[in-house]
Amino acid sequence: MNEIPLVFFLWVGAFLFATGLSIILIKRNVIFVLMGVELMLNAANLNLIAFSRGDDQNQGLMMGLFVLVIGVCEMSIALAIILQVYRRFKKIDIDQFQSRN
């Protein structure tokens, strides 16, 4: 049984990264943008795991597990902040945030 080449994993990771990037740039709902950030994070994580396949020290695997936990922290804090923003402004569009010069 032949193995899956490494570059296939990297292509999938590249597609997920590009999709997450364009979601961040295009969508205007903050929760949507947060989902795009998660997609990019997971694309990077997939690359780590794919490289860790040929490493007997499992460094990429351990890094990926830590990245997973940090991603959860980021997600919970960001949703709490979004909740407060919604309570104050009754709206969660990206374009509503403008600095007062």
Partner 1 sequence: MNSPLMIGFLALTFLTCGSAFFMLWTKNVLHAALAMFMTMLGLAGFYVLAFADVMAVSHLMIYVGGVLILILFGIMMTGQRTSKTGQTNELFTEQKGRFWAFFIDFTVFLSLSWLLGQQHFYAFSDLDRNSKLGQAGLSFMLEYSFPFELTGVFLLIALVGATYIAKNHE
Which residues in the 16-75 window bind partner 1 by CB under 8 A?
16-23, 25-29, 31-32, 34-36, 38-39, 42, 45-46, 49-58, 61-62, 64-66, 68-73, 75
Question: Any contact of residue 96 with partner 1 (CB under 8 A)?
Answer: no
Going by C-beta distance under 8 Å and a sequence separation of 6 or more, which residues neighbour residue 78?
Answer: 34
Q: How far is the CB of 38 from partner 1 (least distance, A)?
A: 7
Least distance to partner 1, CB of residue 100, Å: 22
Total number of residues that touch partner 1 (CB under 8 A):
72
Q: Distance between terminal CA atoms of the chain?
A: 64
Q: What is the largest CA-CA distance in the chain?
A: 64
